[in-house]
Chain A
Amino acid sequence: MRRRHRAAAPMLVLLTLALIGVLYAAAGSATSAQASSDARGANAELIKQGQQLFAEGCSSCHGLGAQGGPEAPTLIGVGSAAVDFQVSTGRMPLAAPGAQAPQKPVIYNDEEIAALAAFVASLGPGPQIPTDEEINYQDADLAEGGELFRTNCSQCHNFTGEGGALSNGAYAPNLMNATPRQIYEAMLTGPENMPVFSNETLTPENKRAIIKYIQHMDEQPDYGGWGIGSLGPVTEGLFIWVIGIGLMIGAAVWIGARVR
Chain B
Amino acid sequence: MSVMNKLGEQAEFLDDRLTVANWGKRNLRKVFPEHWTFMFGEMALYSFIIVLLSGIYLTLWFKPSMNEVVYNGTYTPLNGIEMSEAYKSTLDISFDVRGGLLMRQIHHWGAMLFIASMTIHMMRVFFTGAFRKPREINWTIGVLLLTMGFVEGFAGYSLPDDLLSGTGLRIAEGIMLSIPVVGTYISFFAFGGEFPGDEFISRLYGIHILLIPGIILGLITAHMLIVWYQKHTQYPGKGKTNDNVVGYPFMPVYMAKAGGFFFIVFGITVFLSGVATINPIWSYGPYMPDQITAGSQPDWYMGWLEGALRAMPNWETVIAGHTISWNVFIPGAIVLGVIIQLMIIYPWLEAKVTGDKREHHLLDRPRNAPTRTAIGAMSLSFYMLLLIGGGNDVIGTQFDISINAITWFIRIGIIVIPPIVFVITKRICLSLQRADREKLMHGRETGTIMRLPHGEFIEVHAPLSENEKAVILSKTDITPLPWPEKTDADGVRDPSYKKDHRWARLSHWWYTDNIAKPTAAELATAEEHIRHSAAEGAPIIAHRASLEPEGGVLHDPAAAAAEAEEGKEPVGK
Interface residues of A (CB under 8 A from B): 99, 142-144, 146-147, 150-151, 154-160, 162-169, 171-172, 213, 216-217, 220, 222-228, 230-241, 243-245, 247-249, 251-253, 255-259
Contact = CB atoms under 8 A, between A and B. Distances in A.
Contacts of B405: 169
B299 interface: yes
Interface stretch (B133-141, B284-292, B490-498, B557-565): B284-292
A235 B288 CA distance: 24
B109 A240 contact: yes
A146 B276 contact: no
A225 B276 contact: yes
Nearest to A227: B277
Contacts of B38: 256
Contacts of B369: none
A6 B290 CA distance: 79
Interface stretch (B258-266, B457-465, B548-556): B258-266
Nearest to A241: B116
15 contacts: A142-B77, A143-B80, A150-B285, A156-B294, A159-B294, A228-B277, A230-B280, A233-B297, A234-B394, A234-B395, A245-B120, A252-B40, A252-B261, A255-B257, A256-B39
A237 to B, nearest CB: 3
Interface of B: 34-40, 43, 76-81, 94-95, 101, 105, 109, 112-113, 116-117, 120, 163-164, 248, 253, 257, 260-261, 264-265, 268-269, 272-280, 282-285, 288, 290-300, 303, 390-398, 401-405
A233 B298 contact: yes
Residue with the highest number of chain B CB atoms closer than 10 Å, among A143, A154, A159: A159
Given A237-B299, A255-B36, A256-B36, A150 B280 contact: no
Contact of A155 (B253, B261, B280, B293): B293
Given A151-B291, A169-B404, A227-B277, 10 more contacts: A147-B285, A154-B291, A165-B393, A223-B277, A224-B101, A224-B278, A234-B297, A236-B299, A244-B269, A248-B265
Q: Which 4 A-B pairs have the closest CB atoms?
A: A164-B294, A237-B300, A256-B36, A224-B277
Chain A contact residues: over half helix, strand or loop, or mixed?
helix
Given A155-B293, A172-B294, A223-B282, A166 B101 contact: no
Residue with the highest number of chain B CB atoms closer than 10 Å, among A154, A156, A235, A249: A154
B294 A163 contact: yes
Given A99-B402, A240-B300, A251 B261 contact: yes
Contacts, number: 208
Nearest to B303: A237
A240 B38 CA distance: 20
A230 B283 contact: yes
Contacts of A225: 105, 273-277
Contacts of B248: 259
B397 A165 contact: yes
B297 A240 contact: no
Contacts of A154: 163, 291-294
Given A143-B80, A224-B101, A244-B268, A159 B285 contact: yes
Residue with the highest number of chain A CB atoms closer than 10 Å, among B77, B297, B403: B77
Contacts of B163: 150, 154, 159
Contact of B291 (A142, A150, A220): A150
